[in-house]
Structure 1
């Protein structure tokens, strides 16, 4: 589902050993984030260590980027409106337009990158507007590997467990969310049987807001975020999408504009959910929740973000730190999602952190930034 207005990845798949200096720099950034959320006096004692989003000029002010894949400090992919896909391999100093030919009418909302050369992007929309493309040469060429032919389906997000196995999800068809599966890195796709999927609520759908309405952790676990219905829910599968269980979440619901917009799991049990009401004139008093038992119990944040948030990402190698983003700012938690504090007022729709501890954010008016300290 694509909420309007406004018009609406997850972790990268490589786990490459990074130079020690890169990891140390990333660790320093995490420490600086913790200082920023401490008392003002503490923050003043750490000159030069204030973390901030450093904008990277994409020269694409007409594009809204809601798909983001952070491969590392040097390499990132973004995907957005007008069929746009960009890639950087020099830390954002330069961006190469690697959009699939003939895709200008499409809206890309999710991108999953295996490395600097291999990536899969998802276009959203009703019927044939929902498509999947894959590249193996850094966007020099693309193969359209899936085009939806069912006018009832509307694909929102995709995720990968590893370099071969992945899923994509559609809003309900015949009363159940539809799951698409690949076992060859996104080259071919198959619709999974729906027998193990719980019935959808009236009006329930996914939000194609940040590429994070479908996320995975480990080799088999996957979570699906929903909204638009009487209750906001997260569905969980431990067998790569064959069978699912549903859990209610304590976030705003009961309206087509409300629900869970983004998920992040650092392992199969510890997860974060963000969302709320995307309308700028509506409050989102409880815009975040957390779980420590995977599919079963979600608890509201004691101090949630102050407004709607669409994207969330754990900081790698941290058991307690994560970032959430939305149109009104970036928030940080250092206690596993119990409390959040705003650390930047800028507008971003999605956030992703790489194994080398670099974090990227993307959003409206071609905005892309990398976290610096």
Structure 2
């Protein structure tokens, strides 16, 4: 076949031809998506994760621990907030390499802010009410934020900030969402509350009953529930700003006491919760966090592993059996980081 078009090419054009072939046809084996471990080996359980950019990432966790990287995770600067050595920072929101807010969950519920990269922290909110337990924090932008906490006297606690977290204003009790007996939120990854559009948020609950809350709507979800260890842990929103047309949401959870159980651990909706479907291939166990990471790609993680979907959550592939609590994509960028137990920090390579 010496007269074929390929063999009729000049050597330079022939090289260019093969260089443009897909890796699998070019004799190269492409690296499949995988999790690259960046840090581990401490006793800290990391559940707070905020990725500002491909370079700047913050994490927070038990023992008053906070860590920051400004080089894409190559190195981390670890710090312990003075006076909070026995507290648990279950969520963190960072705005740049200098400014971040951490949330200490239980009595007293404390919120702290740094503007100098973690050198000093200012207490910007404290609530000593009996039963206080903050679960997750979300900011729409650099000014407007929301924190959701477990129910007190039958209603979920909600507080808002409109000045970048410098001050917080509790939603009046009669305006707070009602909770069923035993219902609460899991402070597992800081992602059970998410923004829907420029000024609206939603959150999910778990326990004996599990719901999606949007404004004054309380929406039932066909997710695993019935026990204190079951229910929804995280919600991800794809179609921001499409409030009237319906949102594409993915909810994950399951039973953290049986973390390899795949039963009813993931839900999909394209109409803001009016109707729900289950994946064709669900995640491979309990999952505490789910995140849209670009296009039709979605990542979720939990104590039994990490799953990736390339079709908006319809089918999931197990990437790793190493446990992680949280996964987030860069607000300004494409890098996806993960955080978990034993000080584990990783990133998705794909």
Q: Deviations over 1:17-74 (max 9, x none)?
A: xxxxxxxxxxxxxxx9xx9xxxxxx79976133222111125x511110110111221
Checking the alignment, whether the CA contact within 8 Å between 2:238 and 2:292 is kept in structure 1 is yes
- TM-score between the two structures when normalised by the length of structure 1: 0.82
Deviation at residue 340 of structure 1 after TM alignment:
1.4
Correspondences of 1:261-276 after superposition (within 5 Å): 261-268=233-240, 269-276=247-254
SS in 1 for 2:80: coil
What is the aligned counterpart of 2:339 among 362, 365, 370? 362
- State the Cα distance separating 1:282 from its structure 2 match: 7.0
**Higher RCO (CA-CA < 8 Å; seq separation 6+):** 1
Give the drift of 1:118.
1.1
Tell me, yes or no, if the aligned pair for 1:332 and 1:343 is still in contact at 8 Å: yes
Structure 1 partner of 2:63 = 82
Partner Cα distance (1:248, 1:168) in 2: 22
Aligned pairs for 1:202-221 within 5 A: 202-221=181-200
Q: Does 1:235 align with 2:192?
A: no
Where does the alignment leave 5 or more consecutive residues of structure 2 unmatched? 1-21, 241-246
Q: How far has the Cα of 1:147 moved from its partner?
A: 1.3
Deviates more, 1:189-198 or 1:206-215: 189-198
Which residue is 1:19 aligned to? none
Q: What does 1:18-57 correspond to in 2, within 5 Å?
A: 47-57=29-39
How do 1:133-172 and structure 2 match up within 5 A?
133-172=112-151
Q: Is the 8 A contact 1:248 1:298 kept in 2?
A: no
- Matched position secondary structure for 2:105: strand
- Between structure 1 and structure 2, the one with the greater Rg is 2
Partner of 1:121: 102
Q: Which residue of 2 aligns with 1:26?
A: none
Q: CA deviation at 1:154?
A: 1.3
Preserved contact between residue 99 and residue 139 of structure 1 (Cα < 8 Å) = no
Asked if the contact 2:259/2:286 (under 8 Å) is kept, the reply is no
Q: Residue deviations 1:223-246, cap 9 Å, x none?
A: 1110112x3111113xxxxxx311
- 1:267 and 1:159 mapped to 2: Cα distance? 17
Equivalent residues of 2:193, 2:235 under 8 A apart: yes
Alpha-carbon distance in 2 for matches of 1:218, 1:364 = 32
Among 288, 291, 312, which residue is 1:313 paired with?
A: 291
Aligned to 2:52: 71
- CA RMSD, aligned part only? 2.1
1:266-305 aligned at under 5 Å gives the runs: 266-268=238-240, 269-280=247-258, 283-305=261-283
Which shows bigger deviation, 343-352 or 290-299? Answer: 290-299
Distance apart, 1:261 and its partner CA: 0.7
Q: Please report the TM-score for the alignment, with normalisation by the length of structure 2.
A: 0.87
Partners of 2:210 and 2:85 lie apart in 1 by 33
TM-fit CA distance, 1:120: 0.9
List alignment gaps of at least 5 residues for structure 1.
Answer: 1-31, 36-41, 238-243
Q: Distance in 2 between matches of 1:139 and 1:361?
A: 21
1:247-288 CA-to-partner distances (Å, cap 9, x unmatched) read: 111211000000001111123411111000001377341210
Q: Distance in 1 between matches of 2:44 and 2:230?
A: 24
Whether the 8 Å contact between 2:158 and 2:176 is mirrored in structure 1 is: no
Matched, 1:105 2:86: yes
Q: How many residues align?
A: 322
